[in-house]
Amino acid sequence: MSHKRMPKRKAAIAVGGVAALGAAALLLPNANASQDGGASAAPKTLKAADASEVAVQVQRLLGDAFAGSYYDSGSRRLVVNVADGADGSVIDRAERAGATVRQVENSTAELESAAHTLESRAAIAGTAWAVDPRTNKILVTADSTVTGGKWNRLESTVRSLGSGMATLKKSSGTFKPLVSGGDAIFSAGSRCSLGFNVVAGDGSPAFLTAGHCGVAAERWSDSANGQPIATVDQATFPGAGDFALVKYDDPNTQAPSDVDVGNQRVPILRAADATVGQQVFRMGSTTGLANGQVLGLNATVNYPEGTVTGLIQTNVCAEPGDSGGSLFTQDGLAIGLTSGGSGDCTNGGETFFQPVTTALAAVGATLGDNGAQGGAGAGDQAGGDQAGGNQAGDNQAGDQAGDQAGGNEAGGGQAGDDQAGGGQAGGDRTGGGRARGGADQNAVTTR
């Protein structure tokens, strides 16, 4: 049987000009020259991808003394929080591992206890919370629907945690699942985005997308009103995540491990855990390419459809139609799948992502071209491990980089259409709202 590659069509995507151009520039050759040019006098500078691995190692070293970590892109250091009273020898080991250690007031156990209080007393639709290691507090966010008695309850609960435990902010948007990411995928009346191609546990080609897309429809196509090419195998939403494994119907489908951002394909080398402060890129079939930073981990989001836990919180914009799409780094690390959020790519807002590592473990899949895993680390070139033209070892964006941010190929569907079966928002049926020429049919708008 002949091998078939998933067909692609250029998507005409209206991308927010300045933001899109900024994201594209970061993928262009020598975009990071000023950052990498010249050696720092500090002996323990790290690349963001390396910082993620060091964070895992240091967390193991510190045990209960570990109180979170974040990447300081300015100094290129991993900052690790250590609860007061930690053993000095353990701190020395953490510093030798490459971390900058600082002592903080709130331990991980105390922060987790505060999060449990929020869960039991303030699990209100339109609220979210995640630990912010930079402030050593829980960042609690309420969208525009949290008013009156709901706001009073939330505010009272946050106050009860103590002045040094949490901060509360109001978002002008509405939390909703959004639909899309990389290439557009379609079902009857719905549109989402393909996140990353993977290999299922039985060896068959498949892809990851948002779970709210997977529970909305079983069969998916790569073009509007086209014949289905893939079938949902597993889906989780709401609950402990927002992810789905979708298997290609043709077992000979060629499913490349990359993200299409227009005139450039960024090779995806491996999955990695997010680090707070890490610079990330999101690709979506509605809004194209956008970039920003990771703000929090293990976030809880109370969508109208239900509570989802274990997410990544970022300031990367997204809109309906972006759900399921790819969150990745410049050097080819798969980080997340677009879940939902508030705001848009004009005014900004909060966006939440399903960690890829968690999704892969849950569905028993592996990342890479037909099972071929990428290089072991961001610093390894592994015979040409170039993430989107970037040599992961020196952060050079490489000569493949395209000038177009958001000129992505929407898996055969024109992402600019936003016509997901009569203009329904991004393909998710997780909400009751409509947006951008069609949005989710659920109370939650997935991006």
Residues that are catalytic: 212, 242, 323
Backbone φ and ψ of 318, nearest 5°: -160, 160
Exposure string over 120-130, b if 16+ CB within 10 A, otherwise e: eebebbbbbbb
Distance CA 402, CA 29 (A): 9
Distance CA 122, CA 154 (A): 6
- Bridge-based pairing of strands 166-170 and 137-142 is parallel
Q: Is residue 204 within 8 Å of 252, Cβ to Cβ?
A: no
Taking the CB of residue 2, how many other CB atoms lie within 10 A of it?
4
Would you give the end-to-end CA distance of the chain in angstroms?
36
The amino acid occupying position 395 is N
For residue 212, which of 118, 307, 297 has the smallest C-alpha distance? 307
- The count of C-alpha atoms lying within 13 angstroms of the C-alpha of 336, restricted to the half-sphere facing its C-beta, is 34
- Angle CA(309)–CA(314)–CA(319) in degrees, nearest 5? 90
The 3-state secondary structure of 319-337, one letter per residue: CCCCCCCEEECCCCEEEEE
Would you call 348 helix, strand, or coil by DSSP? strand
Classify burial at 380, counting beta carbons within 10 Å of its beta carbon; exposed 0-12, middle 13-18, buried 19 or more. Answer: middle
Detail the DSSP E strand segments found in 43-160.
66-72, 77-83, 99-104, 127-132, 137-142
Q: Is residue 401 within 8 Å of 27, Cβ to Cβ?
A: yes
**How does DSSP classify residue 273?**
-
Backbone φ and ψ of 62, nearest 5°: -85, -25
Structure token digits, residue 344: 């848009």
The 3-state secondary structure of 226-242, one letter per residue: CCCCEEEEEEECCECCC
